[in-house]
Structures are given as structure tokens and as C-alpha cells.
Amino acid sequence: MSFDLRVNKIIKKTFTYNPASTADAAGVTTSVTVTGARKGDLVLFAPGNDMLDTIFSGYVSATDTVEIRMQNESTGTRDILTSTSTLYVIRI
């Protein structure tokens, strides 16, 4: 199998992240403005501290807007501490 990946652009955004406390099986979505992001771009989320057994995903929901979804599947309530986190938006 051959894989050819050509990255056209990488946008880095550092921001303060403090999701709401969530119960098991609950989640919270946070919008982050990332100038230059557009639908179809890849999103990588780099948390600034321990995410306490929660699951994170990210996607570009609209031009210049990235949504970060935190889903708690830990069997207990989670309150993630405020941290400086980083988003990488990658255009292929």
C-alpha cells in the first residue's frame, strides 16, 4: 500500500481550555475561533494537562470555527482543570 500525504498548511492555535464538569456518559462541546480553518481540514487537539480518562475529538464546523468535543466515559464525574491547550488545523 502506498500513502502520499502532502500538507498544504498547518495552523496552530493555543488557547485556554476549561470544559464544564461532566457526569459519566455526558459530554460538552466548546467552540474555538481558529482563523483560516475551513471545512475538510483535519484537527488535532493537544491538551495542556491530564484529561482524566475522557475522549476528545475535533472538527471544523464552519470557516474559522473548530469544535472540540469532550466525552466522559470514565464511570465517574470529571472536572477537567483549566489548561493552556493547542489545536493544530491541517489542510491536505
pLDDT tens, residue by residue, 20-70 = 999 999 999 999 999 999 999 999 999 998 888 899 999 999 999 999 999
Q: Which fold has domain 9-91?
A: Immunoglobulin-like (2.60.40)
Question: How far is 71 from 32, CA to CA, in rounded Å?
Answer: 17
Q: pTM for this one?
A: 0.89
On whether the CB atoms of residues 37 and 63 are closer than 8 A, the answer is: yes
Per DSSP bridges, beta strands 42-46 and 54-62 are unpaired
Question: How far is 37 from 64, CA to CA, in rounded Å?
Answer: 5
Domain locations in the chain?
A: 9-91
Distance from chain centroid for Cα 72: 14
